Chain A
Amino acid sequence: MARVENKVALVTGAGSGLGRASALRLAEEGARVVVTDLNAEGGAETVAQIQAAGGTGFFIEHNVAEETEWLSVLAKVEQRYGQLDILVNNAGVFLVKPISATSLDEFRWQNSINVDGVFLGIKHGMALMEKSGGGSIVNISSIAGLVGAAISPAYCGSKGAVRLLTKACAMECAQKRNKIRINSIHPGGMLTPMLEEGMAALGGGDKVRASFESMAPIGHLGEALDIANGVVYLASEEAKYITGAELVIDGGITAA
């Protein structure tokens, strides 16, 4: 018996990186996976990989910052599967700029995806989960949602918001007794296209990469699979007594 057998999962930003790895692992553990992303090509590739491995999934193009798109995506999920059990709010963008160089438009853009996207996902995902008796929501925050990083204040602000939005919504669900658990994951430096772009924005090269590697006491970057395994755990019934919690997967960065 697989760990999330027959559950229906929606993973945002699943066209690459942590999202793709999470979608693949959930499918491998028996879930039917709705892959969403702005990037249709990446999303299609994720679905192709799920199917090649014998799993079930389909793609919907999705801008998480738009409420109407959430409503239409969730309507399609309901129409196709009649339920939603797992929502992974993974889609995120990483603005690498000091606050002095960040424009208000950039700040709002950062928050529209990383914060509005999670808010909309929880609000509307929860409604569909309640219809089928509960579920598990996993929000991908960051260690930058726990401690400050000089290189990306807007990103830190957005990820800090995800951390406490998670806890507050977890409390709301507990009060409602709706059997929905909500938790956050806090990745450290994970080798993903998003981090690669961030490193490039900082000038790239070995020195920049080494600065990210050495952030972790373990001495190396993590991989997307490390996060995907955390997602599977929190999404599964194994974590049925975990809500409002933060799972840090960071090679020890925030332990110091």
Chain B
Amino acid sequence: MGRVEGKVAIVTGGGSAGMGRVTSLLLASEGAKVVVGDINEAGAQETAEQIVAAGGEAVALRHDVASEEGWAEIIKLALDTYGRLDILDNNAAMFIAKPLMETSTTEFRRQNQVNVDGVFFGMKAAIPAMELTGGGAIVNISSGAGIVGFAAAGAYSSSKGAVRLMTKSMALECAQRQNNIRVNSIHPGPILTPMLEQGMDDLGGGDEVRGMFEGMAPMGHLGEALDIANGVLYLASEESKYVTGAELAIDGGFIAQ
């Protein structure tokens, strides 16, 4: 019996070889049927193929989290294909690695469209679908940078701060509605993913930049996508049925300092 046996999950940003793919694979290996969305359709297909090759069930589609219409489409796909929705992992994000003083208004807005609007649209679209079958769990991927400031990426930090409190507010709203939907956030520290690699490149790359990210974590090394996937699994499963509005830091000690 898997830890999320028979549940249906949507994972956004599930096509990248980072947290989204690893989380999709882990949820599937624990018994969930996974709808993999990503703006990179080929990547989403690849994730779904890996799940199916491992004996699981998955479908993929091109999905832009910043588009409200896109959300209607992915929810419909989940319900049409699997008849229910139990888990939403709002994982898709972008990382503008720039100080605020160098960030254009267009970049600032783009950052928030993906990281903030995407989570808002996702929760708003998924909750009615989850209510049809008696509840569910939403996991929003925020960041350590949603709890403490980050000089190298102020717009990113502010977008992730929004995710943190949108999570708590929605958790309370769901509790008021007594709809049996829990909403929590995960706050990754520096995790080795394609998104972080790209951010490190944007900051000039090389050993020095990588050393800066490694040094952020008192543990002294970067985390891996599986560390986050395991947190999503815990928060998505019935094991965490009394956890809502909480923030789970998976960061090698980054925010404990």
Contact = CB atoms under 8 A, between A and B. Distances in A.
Interface of A: 167, 170-171, 174-175, 177, 188, 190, 216-219, 222-223, 226, 229-230, 232-233, 238-252, 254-256
A251 to B, nearest CB: 5
Contacts of B176: 217
Contacts of A242: 227, 231, 248-251
Given A233-B239, A242-B250, 8 more contacts: A171-B253, A174-B217, A238-B234, A243-B252, A243-B256, A245-B256, A251-B244, A255-B168
Interface stretch (B15-23, B82-90, B218-226): B218-226
A256 B245 contact: yes
A248 B175 contact: no
A232 B243 CA distance: 15
A171 B257 contact: yes
B251 A240 contact: no
B21 to A, nearest CB: 18
Main secondary structure of the interface of A (DSSP, over half): mixed
Nearest to A174: B218
B242 A241 contact: no
Interface of B: 168, 171-172, 175-176, 178, 189, 191, 217-220, 223-224, 227, 230-231, 233-234, 239-253, 255-257
Contact of B246 (A167, A174, A190, A250): A250
A245 B251 contact: yes
Contact of B253 (A170, A247, A250): A170
Query: Majority SS of interface residues in chain B?
Result: mixed
12 contacts: A171-B257, A175-B218, A217-B175, A219-B178, A229-B240, A230-B240, A239-B230, A241-B227, A243-B256, A244-B218, A244-B253, A255-B246
Contact of B242 (A174, A175, A232, A250): A250
A55 B231 CA distance: 26
Given A217-B171, A217-B172, A222 B253 contact: no
A198 to B, nearest CB: 18
B246 A248 contact: yes
Contacts of A223: 242
B234 A233 contact: yes
Nearest 5 pairs between A and B by C-beta?
A255-B245, A244-B256, A217-B175, A174-B218, A238-B230
Nearest to A171: B218
B253 A243 contact: yes
B170 to A, nearest CB: 10
B56 to A, nearest CB: 18
A189 B240 CA distance: 15
Contact of A241 (B171, B219, B239, B247): B219
Contacts of B257: 167, 171, 244
A190 B241 CA distance: 13
A241 B172 contact: no
A24 to B, nearest CB: 14
Given A217-B171, A219-B175, A252 B253 contact: no
Contacts of A226: 240-243
Given A217-B176, A242-B249, A252-B172, A170 B244 contact: no
A252 B248 contact: no
A223 B240 CA distance: 11
B183 to A, nearest CB: 9
B218 A254 contact: no
Which of B178, B224, B243, B247 has the most A CB atoms < 10 Å from its CB? B243
